[in-house]
Chain A
């Protein structure tokens, strides 16, 4: 049993905080409130300092295949509300390719991701609650695939080189890399102003080589992708809720009413304490899930549990933070509001708490 971070992990956290706090000030973040939320300079800095190689093997220029390290990156991105949406690129594409693709693809794609090239994924579909069964289809004709379907909530797709698509075929589920210029993109406007897209594929033809995994491993790869995405999204949630909790502590320790600091009222401090408890639970289930996924490609229950906690923590801490801040919580000149929007996004994308409770319940009652 050892809950301590290795020294290199603490270093990652500290130096990320240095970079991110400089580039995510209120003034700088304001620029992205109504514009395309993607900070190219920041991405370049993360790349040149090696942070895009977290969780990737040294032979591609990464810093080692530890998913806990990658979790630190997403936690800190969340904590600083960074204008970067990287889970499609660094989690869905990079990690799935690392685990399921041949050496050649890994060499090519992972090295270019580490160098700052953008890839993304398009997995979720409107009105399909079960991402393991894509409604998007891939017809296999000789050496070609013909892909048709509609995806959404794909991140920063307009600047991505290629998109990893999940599709159903007569050979089972496939994960296919499709060039961005082959699809129709529509930018969606969403609650946290994240750069999310609808992706339409209308009989898009690609070579069979574009399938990223060995024959017959598509579902396994997709399940891994979905689970790891849940866990990394829960790390973003951890950063977001950690920041909101520290804002609560700071604000209620200074704000005075009735001649005293409001943090000295138990009704206030106890609500803050409940946020701390929720946060601690989320941190621990995330840690367990990321560590287990290091050695086991299928940890569905661990991933579900971490996303369940993330969904609940995002909801509860966000509303506690707003409430305890009074009017400040909704004032766009203060910091909190951005986190509340991010919290709702983390809560709902790739499985809400209730949806995941349903799934976990099925697993528990049928697998034993």
Chain B
């Protein structure tokens, strides 16, 4: 048993930290502070992505034969951790989920035209999975792709298509077989957002993150836009799910925030001879957050080790998802309590602290308990796979 990063991994961590310090310029920071660019998409963001592409920092999980670095799961975790600590809205789903699938399973056109450009940081994808009537039960999705002589005709509606407002393509899950069982009739397509049949309406969320409802009205795509075999899309959707879930609960951002709030509390005077951090209830809050972060870090590290050693352990992946997402909510609350009323000031206000990160993060945290596989389903999985209990109904 060895629970620490090795020399090579520590070196990667340092290298990444230095790289991002150089990449994130004041101009980029000020762009990312504008609500419409919280998720990226602005000119500075696009520049940074291209720079990362040409410096070889995209496609870390991709196989070497497709131009990637083929990093191990723990190294990928370190990458995600380092990026998230900086606050840069790196489009992980495009680069680490959609990208490698297209590189491996796409047509010759998709490999040449799409995968290569993702590696260069030139393309962004929106993910078209959920629908108005298909959320947790994703395999019931109804968006249709009907085969025609020269390709497919797509019709339907997707919900929560984040990044669609500045994406070049949608990674779209469609139904192609209406007779087969739910998950056996699904196929994946690359759909261009500049098609006249594509439209969207904005959904503005509690966390000031924009997402979208997207509409697909008689969009015709050629055969080359199909990724993987026809009706075999479900395995593409699920193949990367564990890594995605792990990225959602990375311990980096919450630890970064904890450290920053700790530092502020140690320099915030509450009277002539006491600092905020001298108060016992403040210390308790920090201790709770700290011991929670330690457990989260260990859960995530263990999960990367499980992936690396090629084991399949569904229960542990679900433990990470449930524990992490629920801990974030608790941790943000405890840290906001420490800073008290100051933590409700927004980032355009005077007297704001930490660039109002507390105020924003608590508003975005709630999506993680249901997003990426709702926690009820995760608990079902834990009971079945971890405790060998019967399936719930």
Interface residues of A (CB under 8 A from B): 1-6, 68, 245-246, 248-249, 252-253, 261, 263-266, 269-270, 272-274, 276-277, 280-281, 284-285, 287-288, 291, 301, 304-305, 308-309, 357-358, 360-362, 364-365, 368
Contact = CB atoms under 8 A, between A and B. Distances in A.
The 10 A-B pairs at the shortest CB distance, nearest first, are namely: A361-B283, A284-B298, A269-B383, A361-B287, A273-B382, A249-B387, A360-B287, A273-B379, A281-B295, A365-B277
B389 interface: yes
Given A269-B383, A284-B302, A304-B291, 16 more contacts: A1-B304, A1-B308, A3-B301, A6-B1, A246-B387, A249-B387, A264-B392, A281-B299, A285-B295, A285-B298, A287-B3, A287-B298, A357-B284, A358-B284, A364-B287, A368-B266
Contacts of B390: 253, 261, 263-264
B111 to A, nearest CB: 33
| B interface: dominant SS | helix
B1 A368 contact: no
B286 A365 contact: yes
B383 A68 contact: no
18 contacts: A1-B305, A4-B309, A5-B1, A253-B389, A272-B383, A273-B382, A276-B319, A277-B323, A277-B382, A280-B323, A281-B295, A291-B2, A305-B295, A308-B287, A309-B295, A357-B284, A358-B287, A364-B287
A351 B323 CA distance: 25
B275 to A, nearest CB: 9
Interface in B268-307: 277-278, 280, 282-288, 290-291, 294-295, 298-299, 301-302, 304-306
B144 to A, nearest CB: 33
A283 to B, nearest CB: 9
Nearest to B275: A365
Contacts of B384: 269
A266 B6 contact: no
B283 A364 contact: yes
Contacts of A291: 1-3
Given A261-B390, A276-B387, A360 B291 contact: yes
Contacts of B282: 361, 365
A304 B382 CA distance: 28
Contacts of A252: 389
A357 B287 contact: yes
B202 interface: no
A71 to B, nearest CB: 10
A69 to B, nearest CB: 10
Contact of B315 (A1, A276, A305, A361): A276
B389 A263 contact: yes
Interface residues of B, number: 54
B291 A269 contact: no
Interface in B1-21: 1-6, 9
B305 to A, nearest CB: 5
B282 to A, nearest CB: 7
Contacts of A3: 1, 3, 301-302, 305-306
B74 interface: yes
A5 B305 CA distance: 13
B203 to A, nearest CB: 29
Interface in B375-393: 376, 378-380, 382-384, 386-393
B48 interface: no
Query: Of A248, A266, A280, which is in contact with the most chain B CB atoms at under 10 Å from its CB?
Result: A280
Contacts of A261: 390
A274 B74 CA distance: 26
B262 interface: yes
Given A358-B280, A365-B286, A2 B2 contact: yes
B322 interface: yes
B392 A266 contact: yes
Contacts of A265: 392
B39 interface: no
Contacts of A277: 319, 322-323, 382
B290 A284 contact: no
A301 B287 CA distance: 10
A305 B94 CA distance: 38
A1 B290 CA distance: 21
Nearest to A368: B262
Interface in B244-280: 262, 265-266, 277-278, 280
B181 to A, nearest CB: 23
A281 to B, nearest CB: 4
A261 B383 CA distance: 14
Nearest to A290: B1
B1 A362 contact: no
Given A253-B389, A266-B392, A280-B316, A1 B5 contact: yes
Contacts of B322: 273, 277
Contacts of B309: 4
A288 B298 contact: yes
